[in-house]
Amino acid sequence: MNTQLLQVLADGEWHSGQALADAAGVSRVTIWKQLQKLQEAGIELEAVTKVGYRIVGGLDLLFDSEVHSGLNDSATNLVGELQVLQQTDSTNRVCQEAMSDRAAPNQAIVISAEQQTAGRGRRGKAWVSPYARNMYLSVGWQVQGGAAALQGLSLAIGVAVVRALQDLGVATAQLKWPNDIVVGRQKLGGILIELTGDMAGPCSVVVGMGLNVNMPEYAQNGIDQAWTDVYQQGAKPTRAQLIASVLNHVLPLLQQWEQSGFEPWREAWQGLDAYRDQPVNILMGDKRIAGTERGVAPDGAIQIETTLGLQSFHGGEVSLRPGT
C-alpha cells in the first residue's frame, strides 16, 4: 500500500490524477493501479471525471511519533518498543513474536496497526477491521507468576480503557463481563488476553485491545451484534491520542499487577458494570443458566443469583447475555 499516496489523500479533499502522480513520483497508470489497491483494502474512494479523487471524510492516519508525544512520563518509561504497522493479520500475533525475541523486564512491546486482516476477539470471533478507522492495539509484558497471577486482569484492563476514554470526553462507556466495553447494550470494544511461555512460571502476556472509533458505513454489514463507536459518543480524539491515553492507563497497571492483583480494581469494575442487578443468562456450550447478575468475586468470577443461590462462573467458554 502506497503510504505517500494515502498521506496526500488523507485530507479528504479532491486531488487530480496528475497531482497524485506528481506527489508520488510515478506515472498516471501506476497511480490508477495504486488507487485500485486502496479500494481493495476497503478505503472508500470517490472519483469524478475531470475533478479527481478523494477519500470520503478523509483519514486519521497513525504515526508512532504522535503516539509517543501523547504519553505521560510513567508510560514513556515503560515503553521498550512501539510499532505502527500499515496492515497485519493480527497485532496480538506480531506482539507475541516480538515478545519471544525481545522481551525485557518492565518494558512493554506495543504494536498497533492501521488494519488487521485476521483480527479476532474472544472465542475466535472475527473483529471487523476497516483501514485507519478503529484502534487495534496489543501490549506485551513479562510476568513471573504464570497464568495464576493473571486472574482478573482482563477486567482491570477494561477499567483502565474506560478511564482512558473518560479522559478524552467519552463518559458513556461501561463494562460487560468478562471483556467487553459497551455503551448500553451496544459494543464499543473488547479485550483479548493471550499467554505464551511457562504457564506456571515466567511467561509473556499479550493484551489485545480493540475499539470502534469512526466506523465507516461500508463496514457495518460485517458486524453481527449491536455496536457503537467513539465518534457516536460525541468525542472525536485522534486515534494517536486514544492509543496514548490507553497506554497511559494500561502500562502502569501492568507494572503493578503482580504486586496488587485484581482486588484494587474490583470496586471500580463493579461501578462500571452495565448489567449489575439485571436479569442475565450464562451460556456454557449448550447449557443456559438464568439469574440476576450480582457483580464479581475477588478473583474476577461473575456472580449470578439463581434459584440455587449465588453461583460464581469464570471465563473461558462462559458468556453472559442479557436476560428477559
Where in the sequence numbering do the catalytic residues fall?
A: 122, 187, 321
d(Cα 293, Cα 80) in Å, to the nearest integer?
A: 40
On whether the CB atoms of residues 109 and 98 are closer than 8 A, the answer is yes
d(Cα 205, Cα 6) in Å, to the nearest integer?
A: 34
Hey, what's the cell of 302? 461473575
The DSSP result for 90-104, as a single string, is: -HHHHHHHHHHHH-B
Question: Any residues with CB less than 8 A from the CB of 295 and at least 6 apart, and which?
Answer: 270, 273, 276, 302, 303
On whether the CB atoms of residues 309 and 298 are closer than 8 A, the answer is no
Hey, what's the cell of 108? 512493554
Hey, what's the cell of 41? 483494502
Question: Any residues with CB less than 8 A from the CB of 316 and at least 6 apart, and which?
Answer: none
d(Cα 160, Cα 138) in Å, to the nearest integer?
A: 14
